[in-house]
Structure 1
Amino acid sequence: MRRADRHPSRRALLDATGAMVAVGLTAGCESHSARPDRRDAPVSATPVPPTGRHQAGVTLPQPAQHNLLAVVADVGADVAVGPLLAELGQAVARLTAGTDARLMGLPPGDLTVTIGVGPRLVRTAGPALPGAADLPRFSRERIAPQARGGDLLIQICASDALVLPVAAAALADRAGDRIRERWRQSGRRGANVPVAEGLSAPRNLLGFVDGIVGPNTTAEQQRDLWLTGPAPVAGGTIAVLRRMELDLTRFATLSVADQEAVVGRHRATGVPLSGGTAASDPDLGAKTPDGRYLIPADAHVRRAHSNVIGVGLMLRRSYSTDEPAPGLLFTSFQNDLRTFTKTLTHMDSSDALLGFTTTTASATFLILPGFDRRRPLGATLFP
């Protein structure tokens, strides 16, 4: 891979990635100390099968791994996409099995690699296919040209943060000069907080439990998450990637009560301001005795509520970041891009939380259907 802004050689990238392994991790993947603490990883050593109807790294494992590295790249205009994806799928299988020598002896543990293709590539397979539409622009964006859009998403997750740059280097080596990196972002999830039986969610940099609501049951995932057709995309999903800076300093000046009014949940527990448990659906009609809404009109949970907007549920996954600025890498998975675009459009008008965010990167990708030995990655779209 080569970065679009500085154009180093692929060898330079591999050398730089190896240096990250030698001296430490990027800030977004670090522990709270300045240097990686091996006692903090791996949290889980249970392998996650990379093959099946769906790619790993969306609903599996559960809960999601603590560390992520997302790489967004472009594919050369003359590159045969089918063979490229098939080779990447083979590399993923070897990396997750621990048989790739480029792991340099590191056990993969619960490593997952999830690969998606951007709208330009999807349109070459079929202009009407899900995933062919570009993501529109929204307010509160400060996005450089190279940080908007892209042809290829490689999402790498693991409990052991050291595995991430090593896996990225191996995949870069396999892709060679056929792809050119646009940007990358590492991130880390906070400790998981139980919100219901079998369901947990992490805290974000604002101190709130993040990602409670989503398609958590099999029925909800079939309805709102996975694509069921057309045949070339069945088993895939649509991902939206948004990197956001958070104004932590200004948010911290608010009282806890005011912070909770911005979000619509209690900070300590994740419980909606309308009451119940963290997993309870917010009661948007609940009022105080003097007639004020318990969940303010501009609270995030009200403005983003799927029933209010009339859309399906998004599987939302956020990773806190430290570089290039404190913030988060927000990813949502849904089977209809309009679920995201309608939600953000509704939030854009008067969501109190958005006033503390600035989006600095944005893209959407079709997460390819699952693969196996007989059906290479991407074969249904790019035979």
Structure 2
Amino acid sequence: MSGTSTHSKDSENSAAGALTRRRLLGTAGAAGATGLVLGAAGGATGYAATREEAPTALSTVGATEVMFHGKHQPGITTPLQACGHLIAFDLAPGAGRKQAAALMRRWSAVAQRLMAGEPADGAADGPGHDTGVALDAGPSSLTVTFGFGATFFERTGLTKRRPPGLDPLPPFSSDHLDAGRSNGDLWVQIGADDSLVAFHALRAVQNEAASTATVRWQMNGFNRTPGATAKPMTARNLMGQIDGTGNPKPTDGDFDKRVFVPGGQDAAYDWLAGGSYAVVRRIRMLLDDWEKLSVERQERVIGRRKADGAPLSGGTETTEMDLDKAGPDGKLLIPDNAHARISSPERNSGAAMLRRPFSYHDGIAPDGTPDAGLLFICWQADPLRGFVPVQRKLDRGDALSPFLRHEASGLFAVPGGASAGEYVGQRLLES
């Protein structure tokens, strides 16, 4: 249902090179704060001496930078980030292709600056119209990812270039969808390892939309902070389950085939080469009901041990599930309706998707239960071969389904990454 994405080359090269002026200012600010404490104890001399010290490097979390330009957009194979915002926009009345192109140009420019740890307005000194929220922070693995909904092509007069993968998702019996929090002309995913950096990017994206596009819906999520565990490990969801063990990995020979749209297809859709499709689902977890189950019962619902994510058929988290293995009583160790069994590629003709979610908690619902769950995001080259067949199978008898409620849904075509000097979507909007 959710997953930990594997590392991208962009993020691994993030700490190389000299510190930007923005980062130096940020670390100098940290040193100044320490000086204030020393000044309180030792007087002005201690404060002045501290201010003269050379600034130290940002922490690993703050210094990590993901590249904006590349074959694919950032935020797809980037490791899971600690916090995120999902936001959908509708083009304003009267806005068409020309206005959409100008907006994508502005959004791409501001995303590139922010991901490099620079002010949103590009100014070398002072915040200008930048909100100043992240002035003393580094890039913090910030990513900004853009996608187009099916209605975007109608609004911009580009219906002939709308790819078949944007055909509407079929209805599912577990759907209780709020149309006002579903779909949209444009979709933006923001992720970072610092909450203020993520919020800063959110405000910049909203401000750049100006009168061109209005917010349709927004959802906010979180994950475990990098470094919070003794060693890197697969994420846990709000049910406490290790979640995402079976995600495809870039080292898999068919990873690109499963996740990214290939080039050399129909010329009408060549703008999508190197891109992907994002299915976005707001899935509320009925935690009060779930937490009444014993750990043993929870494990049988999932098909994996809660403590370490290992399949009930034995081994460790990464051990392949033995779906035919039975216990001494002759019953399958992984029940026939277990979530892990039903969603496995082996049971779905090899269908797979890269799951990269955020958890969410929006307080208490009117019925007194937690309004909490998963902002499910999955990436695939074709949703009709990735998300749809798996969700259909889950819809017919997944043991986890009684504890979930799908409350919102969206499907977006996410263009390939922008080359240097190019903005995201340029190959569609200027062709």
Whether TM exceeds 0.5 here: the answer is yes
> What secondary structure does 2:406 align onto?
strand
Residues 188-337 of structure 1 mapped to structure 2, 5 A cutoff: 188-190=222-224, 200-218=233-251, 219-229=253-263, 230=265, 231-323=270-362, 325-337=371-383
> What secondary structure does 1:201 align onto?
coil
Q: Greater CA deviation, 329-338 or 276-285?
A: 276-285
Counterpart amino acid of residue 305 in structure 2: H
> What secondary structure does 1:216 align onto?
coil
Question: Is residue 115 of structure 2 the alignment partner of residue 96 of structure 1?
Answer: yes
Change in 2 beyond 3 A, CA 1:122/1:275: farther
The whole-number CA distance in structure 1 between the counterparts of 2:152 and 2:166 is 8
Which structure would you say has the larger Rg? 2
Cα displacement (A) at 1:79: 2.5
> What secondary structure does 2:298 align onto?
helix
User: TM-score under structure 2 normalisation?
Assistant: 0.74
Contact 1:42–1:160 (Cα < 8 Å) also in 2: no
> What secondary structure does 1:154 align onto?
strand
Change in 2 beyond 3 A, CA 1:175/1:314: same
The whole-number CA distance in structure 1 between the counterparts of 2:153 and 2:254 is 26
The whole-number CA distance in structure 2 between the counterparts of 1:106 and 1:157 is 18
Q: Greater CA deviation, 310-319 or 94-103?
A: 94-103
Cα displacement (A) at 1:343: 0.6
Cα displacement (A) at 1:162: 1.1
Q: Which residue of 1 aligns with 2:400?
A: 353
Contact 1:192–1:201 (Cα < 8 Å) also in 2: no
For 1:219-249, what per-residue CA distance to the aligned partner results, in whole angstroms no more than 9, with x for missing partners? Answer: 3321200111332111100100001111111
Cα displacement (A) at 1:137: 2.1
Q: Number of residues paired by the alignment?
A: 339
The whole-number CA distance in structure 1 between the counterparts of 2:418 and 2:214 is 24
Unaligned runs of 5+ in 2: 1-58, 121-126, 364-370
Question: Is residue 96 of structure 2 the alignment partner of residue 50 of structure 1?
Answer: no
RMSD: 2.3
Change in 2 beyond 3 A, CA 1:286/1:248: same
Residues 363-382 of structure 1 mapped to structure 2, 5 A cutoff: 363-382=410-429
Cα displacement (A) at 1:142: 2.1
The whole-number CA distance in structure 2 between the counterparts of 1:192 and 1:264 is 27
Unaligned runs of 5+ in 1: 1-40
Q: Which residue of 2 aligns with 1:72?
A: 88
User: TM-score under structure 1 normalisation?
Assistant: 0.83
For 1:3-59, what per-residue CA distance to the aligned partner results, in whole angstroms no more than 9, with x for missing partners? Answer: xxxxxxxxxxxxxxxxxxxxxxxxxxxxxxxxxxxxxx9834211111111111110
Q: Which residue of 1 aligns with 2:151?
A: 120
Cα displacement (A) at 1:95: 1.4
Counterpart amino acid of residue 239 in structure 1: A
| Misfit runs of 4+, over 4 Å | 191-195
